[in-house]
Amino acid sequence: MSWENPNISIVERPGEKMKKELNSQIAELLRSGTQLENIVELLDAKDFFEFIGQSKNQSPVAHFDVDGFIKKRTEENRKFSLPEKYEKIDEIILPPDEGEMKFGSGAGFKEKDIIPRSTMLMEILTELNLKYFIIEGINDSGMMRRLSYLSFCIPAINKMVLVNDEEGNATFVVHDVQQEKIREYIKKTKEELSGMSHDKVSSLNYSDKNKDGHEQRWKERIRDILTDVIDKHDESVEIEKKYEKAPDGWLTINGLSNKTGVSIKILDNFLRKYKESNPDEFKIYRHSTKNIPWEHISPELVDIIQRLLNERVDVAPEGWKTASSLSTKSENNIVNASDNTIRVSAAKYKIEHPEWFKIYRDKIGREREHYSPELIEKLVEEFNVLENPPEGWLNAGQLSKSLGITYRSVYEYIEEYKLSNPEYFHVYKDEAGIAREHYSSELVKIINEARAIPGGWLNNFMLTKEVGVSEGKVKKFAENYKTSNPGWFKIFKDINGIERPYYSPELVVILKVELLKPLGDAPSGWVTKSSVKKNFKIDDSTVKKNIEPYRIDHPEWFHVYKDEVGVSREFYSPELIMTMKEDRENEIAPDGWMIANSLSKSTGIYFQTLQKYAEKYRDTNPEWFRKYRHESGMYLEYYSPELIEAIRRYAENNN
């Protein structure tokens, strides 16, 4: 959400020093142009942020409950101190390489979880009494990551931390960076930062978020990097007591990189495939030179990785190129088009000429699809004779601007017409002479009409006014139905031209019933989600997986009551908890079922070969493959006794 001129209400009552300091910091940031939304995100305080409706002709007031926020943070013993400055720039921080771009509309990509790394970093800097300022960039619609990296600049120690709250993005700490060099570093790619020496850049991948204590481990590692406590004698002694030296053959990812001559990023992609199914092949030992805890890889997995690397495809022959190296993204581009547009145009030749498409290693060792010289000649010819678009045809950027919607919304609207109406799509030159996909005036009209708000659909603020509760609460209740009934949620433009999520008439009725229930204290045995997470030692996504299937058939198992401090929260009934417990007990694999890693060790069949054998039966005998809860707490795929026997026979007959 954003507002051009928001009315902002900040609670300030005389009293504790902490409240006054926080209000003062917020006011200073707001005066400098920082949006309240950014401050709330940084503080991980969305539960204390809401719109308060006013009279019919007045805009709603954005309200941040400072009292409630401070009370909760004090109870949690979490410290916070806002940045001295929060700057937004029109640049991509750590621009993506080819592997981080979406193909086509991006439909089908699973949205990643959010991990509040920026909030955790803010808390660390507060504990260390270090002042800092933040730079936030922009994102391109073609990028796989939805959130921009944030640059935390810490002048007192000449360090900069590049952090992203979206799962799957590494954190980078740049050492000894002067203020005038900040822009140079944020323009680098992840690959470039990862390739720099450790005295200049430290990179940190987030530990397994399904394991207890993952946040604390990440914070401790960042704190160590920022304060250089790893060089202090007392810390070294403590680490030597706590962590063993790695046995012979166990290597860090850096050691494996030195051994194989392959970049850390490529190795990380290999290792990720094994971590979920083979957790025992990764252990924490003391680093041989840095004297710090560090993840090591087993000798067995080192051998597997080396064999896989030796089996990789060759370097591309002369004249074969990737879409990225042909496009305007490259300094020596041959085709005047974006790499994504090139891929779309190249795809139409694939059925008739599959030999024009091959996988080779690029110049930094990544496996990428390459195009033959014959295909490149076709593409050059095609794009060099491009015409200007006919009247009324728009590209994605123009359509986004014209309709006032995001790139993602544009792609969501057009996707369903790609197969049914190919005549609506054509590649023409844009204003800069670059080839881009354009959409016909008919399709533009269809999208415009599709965005009209049907009767009975309400957005968050409209429903808030009707039921008299906060927008945050309405949104929280609505989210419970998003998985089971995605058709109840659509994006429309409101009367002010702002794009907002709307709820269907069916969902509106349900939400009114739920939200207008009188609240009381929870009956004995009813528990909140936080209690479920603590008692079962699981995360939010696992709670949702275990509980959501019962919401439709057993709505009586869900109710909103006041918690111990009087805050409205959803509670779960004893029947639901008992059912969940029984379900989880049944999730343990029956006798005779095994994961691929264990079967590989017991049979001596090479892990990759074993998986290939198993895949031959997946279509004909899908019941032989099931996911169960492993002793590590993760859900892994298990093979049935029948499949195990089939694999053994297959191996015997083919060896």
How far is the C-alpha of 524 from the C-alpha of 519, rounded, in Å? Answer: 15
- Whether this prediction's pTM lies above 0.85 is answered by no
How far is the C-alpha of 266 from the C-alpha of 262, rounded, in Å? Answer: 7
- Helix then strand then coil, in percent of the chain rounded to 5, is 45, 20, 40
Q: Where are the alpha helices (DSSP H) in 163-313?
A: 182-186, 190-194, 214-227, 233-242, 253-260, 264-275, 299-310
Helices (H) and strands (E) in the chain, counts: 27, 25
Q: Are 425 and 390 in contact (CB under 8 A)?
A: no
How far is the C-alpha of 421 from the C-alpha of 633, rounded, in Å? Answer: 47
How far is the C-alpha of 217 from the C-alpha of 171, rounded, in Å? Answer: 14
Residue 516: helix, strand or coil by DSSP?
coil
pLDDT at 61: 58
What parts of the chain have a pLDDT lower than 50?
Answer: 1-15, 54-56, 58-59, 102-110, 229-235
* Contacts for 380 with CB less than 8 Å, ≥ 6 apart: 334, 335
Start-to-end C-alpha separation, the chain: 62
CB-based contacts of 193-200 (< 8 A; 24+ apart in sequence): 193/94, 193/162, 194/170, 194/263, 194/264, 194/265, 195/263, 195/264, 199/175, 200/174, 200/175, 200/176
pLDDT at 374: 93
pLDDT at 10: 41
How far is the C-alpha of 512 from the C-alpha of 508, rounded, in Å? Answer: 6
Strand positions, DSSP E, 354-468: 357-361, 367-371, 394-395, 425-429, 435-439, 458-459
Q: Is 606 left (phi over 0), alpha (psi -120 to 50) or beta?
A: beta
> 463: number of CA atoms within 13 Å, CB side?
31
Q: Are 614 and 596 in contact (CB under 8 A)?
A: yes
Which residue do the tokens 């080839």 mark?
A: 435
How far is the C-alpha of 589 from the C-alpha of 639, rounded, in Å? Answer: 10
Going by the DSSP 8-state scheme, the letter that residue 535 receives in this structure is H
Write the DSSP assignment of 4-33 as a string of letters: SS-EEEE---S--HHHHHHHHHHHHHHHTT
> 395: number of CA atoms within 13 Å, CB side?
17
